[in-house]
Amino acid sequence: MGAAVFPDDRVFPPLGTSAQQPPEPVFVVARRLDESAAGKIARQEIFGRVLAPADIRQASATSLDRIRLIQVPFWRVEVSIDGFHVSLTSVPLGRGPIGLPLPRMSSKHRIGALMVSARNAFPYQLRVPSSLSHGVFVGIPALEVAAADLVPKAAGDSREGEGELVDGDVVREAAESAAQRAVLNAVEPASAIFSKYEPRVQAVTLVRYPIYYLRYRYDGEARHHAAEDCAVAVSARTGNLVAAKHPSGARAAAGKLRRLFSFK
């Protein structure tokens, strides 16, 4: 069934002359997860989610591709941020409800690394790791790669690792800019009356990261349009979810409610 929907070709076609071929040394990350384990994680994400459509398991609604190992290019951007902000705090006057607003200054120094996808078509949402952000994070956590996990590609070695090699189309300068904006948005408090933070790029590395990618086509009751193409990306290093594109959760919930109240 999957072969008819997804031909046995590359997940992300080569970019040809438009591919970015930066002169920087390329680093790779070793795979630890096998295909069987990754497939179980990906299928659980597709079929076991709370917001999965009620008809997600029906063959007439969902067609699965075979799971594929791909090598996705990422810019690993190390960023530091320094600065301060001024907010208002209320100091009570006596025992009544009235307080005196007083300014309070807080400063921060943080450093960390962001993984910025070097291929626009790869469905990865740039996220800030916990070392650089504040507050409670909801959703898929940021992809993090320790410096110790980076293995330099040997000079003259034409091998790029197992699986399909994905070309990049995001230049280094764009990745640096995106990383700095993301860190600035994560650190600056929304309630401050004044803030001054400055992100600085400390180092940039081009990394080939191994990912198990499972595409599926959904044509059921929660679709926004006919035959939606969706996908799940699982880290071949950690087994964690890296990215996911699913049918609308709101439409799926509405479909479940219709089923409930129609007593079908």
Residue 95 lies in a domain: no
Residue 12 lies in a domain: no
239: left (phi over 0), alpha (psi -120 to 50) or beta: left
For the chain, what is the domain count? Answer: 1
Residue 10 lies in a domain: no
From the centroid of its chain, how far is CA 119? 12
Q: How many residues does the chain have?
A: 264
Residue 131 lies in a domain: yes
Domain residues for 187? Answer: 17-87+100-262
Phi then psi for residue 100, to 5 deg, are -100, 120
Residue 68 lies in a domain: yes
Element of type H or E holding 179: helix 172-187
Q: Is 118 exposed, middle or buried (0-12, 13-18, 19+ CB in 10 A)?
A: buried
What token pair was written down for 214?
Answer: 């499972």
Residue 9 lies in a domain: no
Residue 137 lies in a domain: yes
CA angle, 193 then 197 then 203, to 5°: 160
Per-residue pLDDT tens for 38-93?
999 999 999 998 889 988 988 778 899 999 999 999 999 999 999 988 888 877 77
Residue 45 lies in a domain: yes
Give pLDDT, residue 255.
73
| pLDDT tens-digit profile, the chain (264 residues) | 444 678 777 899 999 888 887 777 789 999 999 999 999 999 999 999 888 998 898 877 889 999 999 999 999 999 999 998 888 887 777 676 777 778 888 888 889 999 999 999 999 999 999 888 765 567 789 999 999 999 987 654 544 458 999 999 999 999 999 999 999 988 888 788 888 999 999 999 999 999 999 999 998 888 877 788 999 999 999 999 999 999 887 877 777 777 667 755
Q: Give CA–CA dist 141/247, Å, rounded.
A: 20
